[in-house]
A and B are shown apart, each in its own frame.
Chain A
Amino acid sequence: MFLKGIKRKFSEPGEEPVSSGEQAPATSPAASRTLSSSYSLQRQSLLDMSLIKLQLCHMLVEPNLCRSVLIANTVRQIQEEMTQDGTWQMMTQALAAAQCPADRLVATEVLCRQTDAATQAGQSPKPMSSASYLEADEDHLSADSRTGEKVFGTFEIKHPVPPPDPGLEELFSDVDPSYYDLDTVLTGTPKMGPYDLLESGGLQSCLMDLNELDHIIEILVKS
């Protein structure tokens, strides 16, 4: 977690993190190996951060669209890269294999759907394209919003809280804590993997809200 006022040594990209073995207990050895590189960790934390930002955008009725779009594009880019090098699948598999309460499995179902089907068919999992993830996400979301349930704000502790992420710390070692506005969010909430956030849709849902409103307004303005 990010602690205020603590100076950390900045590590060069590509340098091995100090304690590469520190992983969430639930992740599989294969996932650990991939995630152990500093780059993967940085990428992962960038993804986490971006998803949190999207989540905060989602809280606003009318978020700064330019900013939301740029963050969403960053997420897409990271996801594409992770899909290409196999980290994404490993992450979702690790998640599926982990001992999770039943309700958590429901939540991650969206992410695992395709992979599960492929595994059942006895094939190696196909890389999930960015588009398919978005579609799946959208399906899940629209179903959710139809029931009138607000997905947002249902963060839970999925796994035991993992030890501080060394990659994450290194990544933000030069951050001035004085303008660290995400701090409250991060410290106020248990450590979140990307899985929690993906289900709630982030930008997709807030854009959809805007879209609907836009449509309503267009009707009203024209009539």
Chain B
Amino acid sequence: MEEESDTRKINNSFLRDHNYATEADIISTVEFNSTGELLATGDKGGRVVVFQREQESKTQPHRRGEYNVYSTFQSHEPEFDYLKSLEIEEKINKIKWLPQQNAAYFLLSTNDKTVKLWKISERDKRPEGYNLKDEDGRIRDPSTITSLRVPVLQPMDLMVEATARRVFSNAHTYHINSISVNSDLQTYISTDDLRVNLWNLEITDRSFNIVDIKPANMEELTEVITSAEFHPQHCHTFAYSSSKGSIRLCDMRQAALCDRHSKYFEEPEDPSTRSFFSEIISSISDVKFSHNGRYLMTRDYLTVKVWDLQMENKPLETYQVHDYLRGKLCSLYENDCIFDKFECVWNGSDSVIMTGSYNNFFRMFDRNTKRDVTLEASRENSKPRAILKPRKVCVGGKRRKDEISVDSLDFSKKILHTTWHPQENIIAVAATNNLYIFQDKVN
């Protein structure tokens, strides 16, 4: 596939970053809510930052709503597992929003072991004129109370509160890699390396194990679960991906324990490209259903694939993300980059897919025109409202101006987490401790 130089005009509408960079500030997940009004990030320090889109202003119609910090809270704290004598990191592995049902917003956030349900609500009024306590909340001396007052609600500055409503713990022995809210809006699944658990959002002390691939003898373990997601419309269907490059579709109506899949998606290995790294690079790092529920997208180390749910033996489409790394797999194995878990996302109409790469590059593939583009999230070339220039990596031979050679790619700068606004062409890209938000060029 040829790289097109001007497939997409993306306008860097706004750039938000932290100037300090500690390990705790590294963004570990990013997620739009179902309307796109809110955007949440989670970081290695266990914090969740929620951004809200500004209302569009009538006086400046060219100025589209920008995202501003709405709420920041500490979702997870570092903990100590006394049984295993083990530190449990506070790092937020995933955030999933619940569809909005009332004035408040709800999201699920998870670290390696514990999922929490957070409620984010606004308060712009406060009660005043209590009988038994004064304005500071101190109890008044009963002897001074001589008359009865009716408390009234007084307007006050808007306050956004985040409260932990549920804590779902003690159900995972291994590390939770994904969570997914069901379309029934009552249940969700949490997935670790070997198991998938089904929860009711109201019940924290009980979960149902619906997939368990843990062998009786751990010596025989050769495969782990890498990600799982519910079907967007069919509340009984979910898919999970494995480290061996396959995806299993399960139907919860068939049995309580979904150890037998209803569909199994796998592409036969190409013997011509076989190497010792074949299995590692085929390991799936992310699986996502398309919004319409017809397709599955999977990301492995070098490619992103689109599968038709009706075709199990091979993917419908395969896109090369950074094929120039194929010759460098040994060094990437050595420095552990080969185990990086890149995520992938669909745009609102399922016609474009996006995923990350190294050197702060991220890729977009247009499924209809078969055009693709490499863009870079970096401070240097991301002045507000600047148009992103497509980047090109040169493979061997002569390097042309504006091209970057494979050998000078920075493997410490990786785009692992991205999200796409559910309706509009607005994307959020997490690059280490920076969050970039890009949107379509405004004419």
| Chain A residues whose C-beta falls within 8 Å of the C-beta of B224 in the assembled complex | 65-66, 69
Question: Binary interface profile of B, 309-346, with partner A (CB < 8 Å = 1, else 0)?
Answer: 00000000000000000001011011110010000000
A26 an interface residue at 8 Å Cβ cutoff?
Answer: no
B-contacting residues, A188-214, CB 8 Å: 204, 207-208, 210-211, 213-214
Q: Are A172 and B334 in contact (CB under 8 A)?
A: yes
Q: Are A73 and B331 in contact (CB under 8 A)?
A: no
B255 an interface residue at 8 Å Cβ cutoff?
Answer: no
A-B contact count (CB 8 A): 93
> Pick the contact of A174 from B218, B219, B407 — CB < 8 Å?
B407
| Chain B residues whose C-beta falls within 8 Å of the C-beta of A6 in the assembled complex | none
| Chain A residues whose C-beta falls within 8 Å of the C-beta of B334 in the assembled complex | 49, 172, 175, 180, 182
| Chain B residues whose C-beta falls within 8 Å of the C-beta of A74 in the assembled complex | 276-277, 279-280
Q: Roughly how many angstroms separate A181 CA and B333 CA in the complex, as a whole number?
A: 12
User: Among B86, B218, B279, which residue has the most Cβ atoms of chain A within 10 A?
Assistant: B218
Q: Roughly how many angstroms separate A73 CA and B279 CA in the complex, as a whole number?
A: 8
Question: Binary interface profile of A, 76-112, with partner B (CB < 8 Å = 1, else 0)?
Answer: 1110000000000000000000000000000000000
| Chain A residues whose C-beta falls within 8 Å of the C-beta of B411 in the assembled complex | 176, 179
Q: Roughly how many angstroms separate A221 CA and B205 CA in the complex, as a whole number?
A: 11
| Chain B residues whose C-beta falls within 8 Å of the C-beta of A204 in the assembled complex | 219
Interface residues on B, range: 35 or more
A62 an interface residue at 8 Å Cβ cutoff?
Answer: yes
Q: Are A217 and B83 in contact (CB under 8 A)?
A: yes
Q: Are A70 and B330 in contact (CB under 8 A)?
A: no
**Closest residue of A by beta carbon distance from B222:** A73
| Chain B residues whose C-beta falls within 8 Å of the C-beta of A211 in the assembled complex | 217-218
A216 an interface residue at 8 Å Cβ cutoff?
Answer: yes
| Chain B residues whose C-beta falls within 8 Å of the C-beta of A70 in the assembled complex | 243, 279-280, 283, 339
| Chain B residues whose C-beta falls within 8 Å of the C-beta of A213 in the assembled complex | 83-84, 173
Question: Binary interface profile of B, 161-180, with partner A (CB < 8 Å = 1, else 0)?
Answer: 00000000010011100000
Q: Roughly how many angstroms separate A49 CA and B412 CA in the complex, as a whole number?
A: 21
| Chain A residues whose C-beta falls within 8 Å of the C-beta of B357 in the assembled complex | none
Q: Roughly how many angstroms separate A81 CA and B163 CA in the complex, as a whole number?
A: 56
A64 an interface residue at 8 Å Cβ cutoff?
Answer: yes
Q: Are A61 and B243 in contact (CB under 8 A)?
A: no
Q: Are A208 and B175 in contact (CB under 8 A)?
A: no
Assess A66 versus B218: contact at CB under 8 Å? Given A61-B85, A74-B276.
Answer: no
A134 an interface residue at 8 Å Cβ cutoff?
Answer: yes
B104 an interface residue at 8 Å Cβ cutoff?
Answer: no
Interface of A, helix, strand, loop or mixed by DSSP = helix
A67 an interface residue at 8 Å Cβ cutoff?
Answer: yes
Q: Are A208 and B218 in contact (CB under 8 A)?
A: yes
A157 CB to closest chain B CB, in angstroms? Answer: 24
Assess A179 versus B412: contact at CB under 8 Å? Given A65-B224, A73-B279.
Answer: yes
Q: Are B175 and A65 in contact (CB under 8 A)?
A: yes
B251 an interface residue at 8 Å Cβ cutoff?
Answer: no
Q: Are B222 and A69 in contact (CB under 8 A)?
A: yes
| Chain A residues whose C-beta falls within 8 Å of the C-beta of B160 in the assembled complex | none
B21 an interface residue at 8 Å Cβ cutoff?
Answer: no
A-contacting residues, B53-85, CB 8 Å: 83-85
Q: Roughly how many angstroms separate A77 CA and B283 CA in the complex, as a whole number?
A: 16
Assess A181 versus B219: contact at CB under 8 Å? Given A61-B86, A70-B243.
Answer: no
B223 an interface residue at 8 Å Cβ cutoff?
Answer: yes
**Closest residue of A by beta carbon distance from B279:** A73
A41 an interface residue at 8 Å Cβ cutoff?
Answer: no
| Chain A residues whose C-beta falls within 8 Å of the C-beta of B276 in the assembled complex | 43, 46, 74, 77-78
**Closest residue of A by beta carbon distance from B112:** A62
User: Among B175, B219, B243, B412, which residue has the most Cβ atoms of chain A within 10 A?
Assistant: B219
B353 CB to closest chain A CB, in angstroms? Answer: 23
A41 CB to closest chain B CB, in angstroms? Answer: 13
B193 an interface residue at 8 Å Cβ cutoff?
Answer: yes
| Chain B residues whose C-beta falls within 8 Å of the C-beta of A207 in the assembled complex | 218-219, 221
Q: Roughly how many angstroms separate A220 CA and B86 CA in the complex, as a whole number?
A: 17
A171 an interface residue at 8 Å Cβ cutoff?
Answer: yes
> Pick the contact of B83 from A65, A73, A78, A216 — CB < 8 Å?
A216
Q: Roughly how many angstroms separate A184 CA and B309 CA in the complex, as a whole number?
A: 48
B111 an interface residue at 8 Å Cβ cutoff?
Answer: no
| Chain A residues whose C-beta falls within 8 Å of the C-beta of B194 in the assembled complex | 65
A138 an interface residue at 8 Å Cβ cutoff?
Answer: yes
Assess A171 versus B339: contact at CB under 8 Å? Given A65-B224, A69-B221, A138-B219.
Answer: no
| Chain B residues whose C-beta falls within 8 Å of the C-beta of A73 in the assembled complex | 222, 279
Q: Are B335 and A175 in contact (CB under 8 A)?
A: yes
> Pick the contact of A208 from B85, B174, B219 — CB < 8 Å?
B219
> Pick the contact of B86 from A62, A65, A78, A134 — CB < 8 Å?
A62
> Pick the contact of A66 from B219, B336, B339 — CB < 8 Å?
B339
**Top 6 A-B pairs, shortest CB-CB distance:** A211-B218, A207-B218, A65-B193, A175-B331, A61-B86, A67-B339
| 30 chain-A/chain-B pairs, Cβ below 8 angstroms | A42-B330, A46-B330, A49-B334, A62-B84, A66-B224, A66-B283, A69-B221, A70-B279, A70-B339, A73-B279, A74-B280, A77-B276, A77-B279, A172-B331, A174-B331, A174-B407, A176-B335, A179-B335, A179-B411, A181-B335, A204-B219, A208-B218, A208-B219, A210-B218, A213-B83, A213-B84, A214-B214, A216-B83, A220-B83, A221-B170
A66-B193, A70-B339, A211-B218 given; 14 more Cβ-contact pairs under 8 Å: A49-B334, A65-B174, A66-B283, A66-B339, A69-B221, A70-B280, A73-B279, A77-B276, A172-B334, A180-B334, A213-B83, A213-B84, A217-B84, A217-B173
